[in-house]
Structure 1
Amino acid sequence: MTEPSVPAPDAGEARPLTVRTDLALGGRWTSLATPEREWLWRNPRVLEAERAAVAPGDAFVDAGGGEECFPTLNGPSDHGEVWSRPWAADDGEPGLDVAPVSVGGLTLRRRLSADDGVVRARYAIDGPPGASVLHAVHLLLDVGPGARLEVPGRPDVLVVEWPERGATVPSVWPDGDGVSFDVLGPDDGTARCAVVATDRVEIVDGADRLSLTWGVDPGFSAPVSFVVWRNLGGWPKDAPYRSIGVEPLLGAESNLDRAAPHQLAHLDDTGRIGWWLEARAQHVSL
């Protein structure tokens, strides 16, 4: 798999990023950091032992970090099938991680690198020709109440699971049917999730900026977007807390069962599709 090189925005001094993962815990991203800060949030209410004890079919454990959600984000299985299963390293290709999937004969492979301080994730999906999938890189971010999201233009927004579970509301960035998705705080008791039709987003938190870009490999065709989870103390109802998710997505919906065909990624006639994600960090002069 190859991906185009997207130049970093002129936003200040580039800072080197590193990445760590845990294959035993579903290929989970455990760190995305510069020398100055950790970008991934950890839920202080969840013990690592609780996250480690999950088994296929269990409800999602919101431990933080970055979870690989495949072949759906929500819907037929809670955050997909691979976050709760141990991954394996491919002995034949050093640096290649393989996620086992028992649904529909699908296989997800990931190659992560941090060359020149840029973190790159490259994904290959194999399975039955024409199979439909969604794949979200479910990054939960450690950002303050003054943080904001920047995306180019005014892309379409699909607010999901709103105003009730299973419902959707169309909108335009940054409107989330009454909340502003580009502003991430302070806590106001709301929780809203949406799919945003773009291939890039920048997370600005004080003097620091994290830039994410993603796309489909040459030769393949599929929609891409990102999921924003803006939970400012509005979820869960019985014990709400704050969590912010920015989740690059192969597809244009969060629910495999609900999505229309044009909102899904489809494996080609050979039973493959590939896509990529890049992360860059900058320190911004204020």
Structure 2
Amino acid sequence: MTGAEVWPPGDPAWQPRPLAVRTDLGLGGRWTALRSAARDGVPEREWLWRNPDPGVAPARAAVRLGAAFVDAGGVEECFPTVRGLPDHGAAWSQPWTADEGRQQVRAGDLCLARRMRTDGSLAVDYTVTGPPGTPFVHAVHALLDLSPAARLHVPEARTAHVLDHPVDGAVAVLPWPAGTGATPLDRLGPDDGTATAALLPGCSTAAVVDGSDALVLRWRVTEGDPAATCSLLLWRNLGGWPAARPYRSIGIEPMVGTIATLQGSGPGRPASTGVGGGLCWELTITAWRQS
């Protein structure tokens, strides 16, 4: 199945909706809004989830490089790792710079740059540069505001690498979408007190369908390491995390690499800057609504 076949499913009632994005370079390049609108420009839906805790926004604003991750919502750029040290990488916790439409940040020896274009869909072109052969992981940590009825469609998925199962640090390779509990992983609610992180290796297309709305994501490596593989990272927190004050949050995270950390064990491998010292990949997001 190709990305074009994911959504809409041959039904003319589904029509594309233009998307608009807003970012905050001072806060780690974070995406703070991703809105779809009707043809006349009237806003219809905000896709990004925000943590409703009133203490989170000031805590996020006070973050400095090396700080513990603050789960404020929106989209965070997790680079050059997702898990490990620093948690969620280094790109999210320091200011970015911009020059003629190119937004960028340094993380050690590596530089992550992006260009964002909106023409109905949202297209993001990423470039990673650094010493040849440097390993990295890059995940677009998108926390979406979804109802308990939402479903995740990943046509390329066959297996899921469920992280921290059955114990912290372990990785269980299981059929998709069965997962580890009674609720299949492609069902994004209702809340059941669980929290699951699952990496779907080799996937480059996903669709989230929530009632009469759908969001389709497609990504691919365009230049660099020919061995680099795309994946999808799913964070399905149905009121199971954190232990003290759990809440609901759903992360749909396109990424390059097939492992979530540079230091840990388990199946998969990171991406790399390759022999040429660089890798480019692109992410395209399209919104749809059923009339």
TM-score (norm 1): 0.92
Which residues of structure 2 form unaligned runs of 5+? 38-43
Worse-matched range after superposition: 126-135 or 155-164: 155-164
**Counterpart contact for 2:56–2:71, Cα < 8 Å:** no
**Rounded Cα–Cα distance in structure 1 between residues aligned with 2:280 and 2:25:** 20
Q: What is the one-letter code of the residue matched to 1:14?
A: P
**Rounded Cα–Cα distance in structure 2 between residues aligned with 1:201 and 1:282:** 13
* Cα distance change, pair 78–134 in 1 and its aligned pair in 2 (3 A): same
Aligned counterpart, 2:176: 173
**Rounded Cα–Cα distance in structure 1 between residues aligned with 2:147 and 2:212:** 12
* Partner secondary structure for residue 105 of structure 2: strand
**Counterpart contact for 2:75–2:141, Cα < 8 Å:** yes
Q: Which protein is richer in strand relative to its size?
A: 2
Matched, 1:158 2:161: yes
* Cα distance change, pair 156–261 in 1 and its aligned pair in 2 (3 A): closer
Deviation of residue 129 (structure 1)? 0.4
Q: What is the one-letter code of the residue matched to 1:163?
A: P
TM-score (norm 2): 0.90
Identical positions, percent: 48
**Rounded Cα–Cα distance in structure 2 between residues aligned with 1:220 and 1:131:** 11
* Partner secondary structure for residue 247 of structure 1: strand
**Counterpart contact for 2:160–2:179, Cα < 8 Å:** yes
**Counterpart contact for 1:40–1:139, Cα < 8 Å:** yes
**Rounded Cα–Cα distance in structure 2 between residues aligned with 1:232 and 1:240:** 9
User: Can you list the C-alpha shifts for 1:237-271, whole angstroms capped at 9, x where unaligned?
Assistant: 11111000000011111111125795211112121
Q: What is the one-letter code of the residue matched to 1:168?
A: V
Matched, 1:81 2:90: yes
Matched, 1:108 2:78: no
Aligned counterpart, 1:204: 209
Matched, 1:120 2:123: yes
Alignment of 1:215-234 (within 5 A): 215-218=220-223, 220-221=225-226, 222-234=228-240
**Rounded Cα–Cα distance in structure 2 between residues aligned with 1:76 and 1:261:** 19
Matched, 1:134 2:137: yes
Deviation of residue 155 (structure 1)? 2.0
Deviation of residue 10 (structure 1)? 3.3
Aligned counterpart, 1:71: 80
Deviation of residue 284 (structure 1)? 2.2
Deviation of residue 114 (structure 1)? 0.6
Aligned counterpart, 1:189: 193
Aligned counterpart, 1:9: 7
Q: What's the C-alpha RMSD, in Å, of the aligned pairs?
A: 1.7
**Counterpart contact for 1:169–1:177, Cα < 8 Å:** no
**Rounded Cα–Cα distance in structure 1 between residues aligned with 2:171 and 2:130:** 29
